[in-house]
Structure 1
Amino acid sequence: MFARSAARSVPSRPGEAVEVEESLGVLERARRFGTSKLSLQRLVFVHELVECAHDIGYDATVAYLLPLVQNLVTDPEVLVRQSLMERFGDLAGFLIQADPEKGYEKVARALLPTAKLLLAEKANDVRQSAIDAFITLASHLRAGDCGDQVLMPVIALSQSNDDEEARSTAVQLLSSLAEALGPDLCKQFVGVQLEAFCEDQSFRVRKAAAAGFAEVARMLSCADVLRRLVPAFEKLTKDPHWGVKKAAAENLVTFALTVPVDQRQEAFQPMVNSLLKDNSRFVSCAMLQQLGYFIGALEGAEHQPVVFMTQFVAVIRQSKANPDAADMTYHCAFTFASVTRTMGSAEWPSLK
């Protein structure tokens, strides 16, 4: 780890060499590397952060390593910030395991706010690592802390009217955090915000919203899903931008599976019909790829519109005749067993 036996030179940039003092103790080496002017040494500190924490114990980690971590969140090097976020989950696990009560407080009051600072990061890789870290840290929180510590920062991001990336980040976070936030917060805040995202001025935000419905729907009652989320999702299937409609087609079945089977056809068949007939080939093809999955989701021949079965068979025949339709062939093959089971033996001749 940080303790080594001798000094050596490590290349940092072309023409440079970094003298690494390997006779230092674990803690002293960590403190020196964590505050080094050389980005390579700071990166070494980050890479070995969790191992160092295990070596020096909880008290020393809190006293010496956490202040370094909080300083490095504003490091000028993108790779240092990204790597730091990638280690927050394991660091949180160490803190809570070492001292369940005090460690929990450090995760909630120190690590989570630190990760929050990078949620609006301009560098994509850093921002995504911060999103992943924030989601992981939130999973450790008790229900009573989720509102202030998790939900409010995300709501603040969602209200960044002049920052499209911040709102897109908020969409991703709200759906990923739905389970951690629980039914009450999802009903009061998350569902409402997801509806608002469906009317966002940016098509990228609306496109991102399409992927978040299933996770949020699992936290809401069926009545709330049908009354609020289904109409909001239907707007996405009729969006002016083809990319939003394509995203809706790709996520429709996953969302439909959160609704009781006896209500899926009524709620989603009109959307499927609309997407299949869309003027954009990208949209209609995306829905055709999902058609077999949707037929299977209806779980019974009595729920199946004849037109869906006809189209599914037509897709199979067209795919067999077109060697370039590999993606369509894959989806048809993958869903064939489900479709035949759903349709029943009476329809088997048409599938031969």
Structure 2
Amino acid sequence: MAEELGVFIPCVGGVEHAHVLLPPLETLCFVEETCVRDKAVESLCRIGSQMREADLVDSFIPLVKRLADGEWFTARVSACGLFHIAYPSAPEIVKTELRSTYSQLCQDGMPMVRRSAASNLGKFAATVESAYLKIDIMQIFEDLTQDDQRSVQLLAIEGCAAFGKLLEPQDCVAHILPVIVNFSQDKSWHVRYMVANQLYELCEAVGPEPTKMDLVPAYVRLLRDNEAEVRIAAAGKVTKFCRILSPELAIQHILPCVKELSSDSSQQVRSALASVIMGMAPVLGKDATIEQLLPIFLSLLKDEFPDVRLNIISKLDQVNQVIGIDLLSQSLLPAIVELAEDRHWRVRLAIIEYIPSLASQLGVGFFNNKLGALCMQWLQDKVYTIRDAAANNLKRLAEELGPEWAMQHIIPQVLEMTNNPHYLYRMTVLGAISLLAPVMGSEITCSRLLPAVINLSKDRVPNIKFNVAKVLQSLISIVDQSVVEKTIRPCLVELSDDPDVDVRYFANQALQSIDHSMMSS
């Protein structure tokens, strides 16, 4: 009910009657279930943002006041999420009252209310005039960061960066920076984790280079934190942090930590680093990348944890743009081969996803010599998902490298597999042909692919024959009408008399498609 009322304005006659939706939602703001209250607040925000200013003053702002003064803590919790809607339209005297009321909610005796006030402070601060930000809101923020409840502190820290961006750089440096630097050394790893997530955004807000230097030591501490969770959070932001520093600062302070993290005892830390480290190459430039980053890339490419290697390979294009692929290819190939043959099928699946982009980066020559055989090998994998992904991979490669390349390097090997003794692999080939035909065009489809499909219609396995019918149906729109009548229709007619019921069904479906396409044309 709380969710639906949020979109009810058209049902009550438009925005001029939106105020009639407020009483039921106000009632729902009192209920005990958190999820209901959250939906009620969300709907009130949606309605309030569409209401006319006069209606906001007459109906919405009094509602916020009533909730904020509510006897039950649930009402006060709900009120915190509505101030940012009510405040901009309030008269000046009411604005003063709302700021005072929000300050009282931040000092409420119930921790749940203070948590709600802390989590909504950023939204409210964004609507408050800059003159009051430095006075009223800053005091509220400082009180919340010193709260005796750790959960309240955490929510206040979570909003540090957003709040900092609302202030002038000098005010951010004076008031927010000391708080963050202090919390980066907090006893609780949860607090340090939250700081690690916020630090780079705060670094953007503080402005000039010298002031950023105050944050660099804090970030270095977090990268070397004794808790793996904190290092994971910090490592995941390393590229973003380096982008807002000069290359000299990044090389001097951050790069030594990156080297340490590349051999961290936690595989999740190494994985988090591997997912972003490639982005440092454009920041540091070619020389620093070759001298200092490349050895780290190569060590991560040899990591024993598959996710680390996958994260590096998936972002290779960022390094390729800076230093070219030649320097990477010697170490890259063993890592790819190892991942391609990993015993976990999800790892094999992940590397298949990256093959087309690798092909475009490595070049056709390197790909043909080193990776082409792997692509065909996946078509005979024991896991269906891998075989299916391999067929889609061939299609994407044909699109990436062109039909001529595919005709020379893919099609002959695919057609050769139509004679494979295992029927599941013959089915995979049929799927590959169906995917490749639109890319290869009518001429190659008629001369090379279609004859192979017709030949498989004589297969002894019913599953192969009804998949032949499906493939023939997909080829109708690709080849000329004369080919449909001379080659495809006779084959389907023959399959429509097959002893197997499924073969007959799919053959008749395909024949109906032919008739329908003829009528349409």
TM-score (norm 1): 0.73
The alignment-based identity, stated in percent, is 17
> Normalized per residue, which structure has more helix?
2
Structure 1 segment 136-175 matched on structure 2, within 5 A? 136-160=240-264, 162-175=265-278
Specify which of 108, 113, 118 is matched with residue 220 of structure 2: 113
Q: Structure 1 62/11 Cα, relative in aligned 2: closer, same or farther at 3 Å? A: same
Question: Are residues 1:346 and 2:450 paired?
Answer: no
2:377 is aligned to 274
Structure 1 segment 105-254 matched on structure 2, within 5 A? 105-106=213-214, 109-110=216-217, 112-113=219-220, 115-117=222-224, 121-123=227-229, 129-160=233-264, 162-254=265-357
Q: CA RMSD in A?
A: 4.0
Shift of 1:51: 4.9
- Equivalent residues, number: 325
The answer to whether the 8 Å contact 2:239/2:277 transfers is: no
Q: Structure 1 275/148 Cα, relative in aligned 2: closer, same or farther at 3 Å? A: farther
Q: Structure 1 68/87 Cα, relative in aligned 2: closer, same or farther at 3 Å? A: same
User: Separation in 2 of the partners of 1:19 and 1:284?
Assistant: 50
Shift of 1:255: 1.9
1:66 is aligned to 177
Task: Tell me which amino acid in the other structure corresponds to 1:268.
Answer: L
User: Separation in 1 of the partners of 2:200 and 2:401?
Assistant: 39
Task: Tell me which amino acid in the other structure corresponds to 2:244.
Answer: H
Task: Tell me which amino acid in the other structure corresponds to 2:180.
Answer: V
Unpaired runs of at least 5, structure 1: 321-328
Which structure has more relative contact order (CA 8 Å, sep 6+)? It is: 1
The answer to whether the 8 Å contact 1:167/1:205 transfers is: yes
Shift of 1:235: 3.2
Shift of 1:134: 2.7
**Bigger CA radius of gyration:** 2
More divergent stretch after superposition (243-252 vs 43-52): 43-52
The answer to whether the 8 Å contact 1:276/1:283 transfers is: yes
Q: Structure 1 51/246 Cα, relative in aligned 2: closer, same or farther at 3 Å? A: closer
User: Separation in 1 of the partners of 2:384 and 2:115?
Assistant: 56
1:284 is aligned to 387
Specify which of 100, 108, 112 is matched with residue 5 of structure 1: 100
Specify which of 79, 93, 101 is matched with residue 209 of structure 2: 101
User: Separation in 2 of the partners of 1:273 and 1:55?
Assistant: 56
Shift of 1:257: 1.8
What SS class does the counterpart of residue 323 from structure 2 fall into? coil
1:31 is aligned to 142
Shift of 1:91: 1.9
User: Separation in 2 of the partners of 1:19 and 1:301?
Assistant: 62
Unpaired runs of at least 5, structure 2: 1-83, 85-97, 122-131, 419-425, 450-474, 479-521
User: Separation in 2 of the partners of 1:316 and 1:251?
Assistant: 21
User: Separation in 1 of the partners of 2:198 and 2:275?
Assistant: 20
Shift of 1:253: 1.8
- Cα deviation 1:258-281 (Å, max 9, x = unaligned): 123454333421221233333444
What SS class does the counterpart of residue 141 from structure 1 fall into? coil
The answer to whether the 8 Å contact 1:26/1:56 transfers is: no
User: Separation in 1 of the partners of 2:413 and 2:259?
Assistant: 40
The answer to whether the 8 Å contact 2:165/2:202 transfers is: no
The answer to whether the 8 Å contact 1:211/1:251 transfers is: yes
User: Separation in 2 of the partners of 1:205 and 1:50?
Assistant: 30
User: Separation in 1 of the partners of 2:367 and 2:304?
Assistant: 29
Q: Structure 1 288/188 Cα, relative in aligned 2: closer, same or farther at 3 Å? A: farther
Shift of 1:55: 5.4
